[in-house]
Homo-oligomer: A and B are copies of this chain.
Amino acid sequence: MSVQEPIEYRDACPQVRAVFDDIKRTRQVDDVNNFWKYLAHDPVTLKRTWESIKEIMAPGALDAVTKEMIYLAVSVTNGCAYCIASHGAAARKAGMSGQMFAELMAVVGMANETNRLANGYRVPIDAAFAR
């Protein structure tokens, strides 16, 4: 078993090609990202993940650029280099300007700081915010 190699469209089975086609059509791109080419080693997970992403990232009460920025904020928090690169690109494609990115990063940095200040000072939840 080797997941070392990405699965290219030309080498993919029909089940995988169907997902690749839908990604390319939905995103208006000629080829899918590496993420999908590696996930294609598990066609069931590939399909479930894509169907979920499609549903979750479609514009709704939150627009596309806001959703991509939230995705980027999580990826930056977790330090996932791949996702930071790919979702940074997706966010810019969806309309994130340099200034928006700068402000997002400032919030992400500060939130990661105050989360730990709240931890270390053992701050109890205010009654006003009780579940």
Contacts and interface: CB of A to CB of B under 8 A. Distances in A.
A17 interface: no
Contacts of A100: 61-62
B83 A114 contact: yes
A95 to B, nearest CB: 11
Contacts of A48: 52, 55
Given A62-B104, A69-B66, A70-B104, A117 B81 contact: no
A3 B107 contact: no
Chain A's interface: helix, strand, loop or mixed, by majority? helix
Contact of A112 (B78, B84, B97): B78
A15 interface: no
A73 B74 contact: yes
A89 B122 CA distance: 13
A13 interface: no
A124 interface: yes
A10 interface: no
A78 B115 contact: yes
Interface of A: 1-4, 33-35, 38-39, 41-42, 44-45, 48-49, 52-53, 55-57, 60-62, 66-67, 69-89, 92, 97-126, 128-131
Given A34-B123, A70-B107, A86-B129, 18 more contacts: A1-B97, A3-B122, A35-B114, A44-B55, A48-B55, A49-B113, A56-B107, A60-B99, A74-B115, A75-B115, A78-B112, A81-B119, A83-B118, A84-B122, A85-B125, A88-B122, A108-B116, A109-B114
